[in-house]
Structures are given as C-alpha cells and as structure tokens.
Amino acid sequence: MARRLLSCFGRGHGSGHASHEKNVTADMMVEEQKHGGPVLVELFSSQGCVTSPEAEIVVSRLGRGDFGLEVPVVVLAFHVDYWDYMGWKDPFGSSQWTVRQKAYIESLRLDTMFTPQVVVQGRAQCIGNDDNALLTAINEAPRFPAPTFQANFQRPTSDSLQVSLTGALRSKVDSHGANVMVALYESGLVIDCPKGENKGKVLSNDFVVRKLEKLCTVKDLSAKKTVSGTVNFSLWDGFNGSKCGVAVFVQNSSHQIFGSQNFQLPNDI
C-alpha cells in the first residue's frame, strides 16, 4: 500500500476545586555554567509504526542517563497521528505534533516525513532507533546556557495545572524574536496493543508530550533580562503528577533551540 510519501523507517534506513501550590527553584551546576546547558532531543514516534517501539526504548534509556553522556539532555516524545489509519489509533497521537514534525522537515530541507525520527536542538536529525547516530548528533550539537527559571505550580481546579515561570533566558534574542515554549510530558506509560503493526506487543512510552503551550514571545532581549509568564494546562483523566514533568525551551522562527530546562512535578501536586 502506498504510504502517502510517508515512511516508517527501521534501523539501517538512512472533581472539586482543590487548590494547592508548589515552588521549584532550579540550581545551576558548575559544569553547566562552564559548558552550556542541556541539549533538547525530540522523538517523533507512533504506536502505529512497527519500528517506533525500538526508538522509544532508546530515548527512554537516554533520558535515564544509561548512555553515560557528559552532555545533559532534555527528552521529549511527540506522537504523530499519520499512522492511525494502519489499524491502531495511537492514544497519545496528535495532529499538532504532526504539524510540528512537518515544520522540522521543511526547515531541515528533507523530502519526507517518517517515524521514528529524532531532531536534536532543532538543527540535526536522524533515525530514532539508530542510537549511534543519535549519540553523535547530541555530542556534536551546539549548546546554550540553560534558562534560570523558577517554576511555581498550582492546581486552580482538579482538572487543570497552572505553571508560572520567572527567570532569565541566558541567551540573547535578536530582532527576529523567539518563543518560550512549555511542554507537559508523562512517563511510565504502558499499553497492550491489540491491533495494527504492533499487534500483541506491550508498548512502553516515556517523556510523552501531552500538552504544549507558549509562555511568551520575546524580541531584542538581553541574556540577563528577567522573563515571566504563566501557562495553563487542561489535564487528562488519570493524571498523576509523580509521572509527569515540565520542559521549557527557547525556539526561534527557524525552529532552532537556544536553551532548555527541565522540572519534575511535585509528587503531591
């Protein structure tokens, strides 16, 4: 069956209104100050793609630090929806993430969209289950200081999460501007897949982006100037803060990343 110029690549192919509040302060490590902050690694994946599960394992290991990299990373997994027609609808898939991947395909001047694909710092890409290529891309990626945001978490209602951030980006933003983005992700997701190309498999997914919001747009900004903003996330059934985290990253109009920062949610949020 023709796959509409899409490819699924394997290895070797190039209730109540309970409200409470938590505060988290990010402390910069000496090494981070010397050499730069984390590298943002984005996986575009689908439970409907037969080779994506292997890539999910790779990025899960990456996020846990199994590869012993000296470079810190922030890992996010975006589940696309264009494989849903193959017999299994990915419960975490979204057309929003497909649009995000398409923007990378265009900015990186690639011919086609495929899964599993990894994009590193918005500047380089590789097949997601090729761990050697992935580690090389991370080690060769340009690094930028991590923002110094302090994060304040609140639950205005039982089905919403409010994240307020204040801090410096620590990278200068020119007249072209940049967006400060905030992703809410979930790990420890395990699903029995009864249909599609992964029929009969138990699929494990970590760092799955559930929500993505823009904190603010900045322009002609010095590295030390304080930036503040608040985003509100609507939560899903079964939300468990102990399995979730928040990633903040700065991205320009060319889709390049200029700094990222990671927060774990308080267990009792």
Q: pTM of the prediction?
A: 0.89
Q: For residue 237, what are the contacts with CB-CB under 8 A and spacing of at least 6? A: none
Phi then psi dihedrals of residue 29, to 5 deg: -85, 155
Structural domains in the chain, CATH included, are 6-12+20-27+36-264 (2.60.40.10)
Torsion of CA 105, 109, 112, 115, to 10 degrees: -40
Profile the chain (269 residues) by mean pLDDT over runs of 10 residues.
42 40 45 74 98 98 96 98 96 98 98 97 97 97 97 96 98 95 98 96 98 97 96 96 97 97 91
pLDDT number for residue 89? 97
Cα–Cα distance measured from residue 76 to residue 206, given in angstroms and rounded to the nearest whole number: 8
Query: For residue 74, which of 156, 9, 149, 10 has the smallest C-alpha distance?
Result: 149
Report the first-to-last Cα separation within the chain, whole angstroms. Answer: 47
pLDDT number for residue 39? 98
pLDDT number for residue 77? 98
Residues 197-254: tens digit of each pLDDT: 999 999 999 999 999 999 999 999 999 999 999 999 999 999 999 999 999 999 999 9
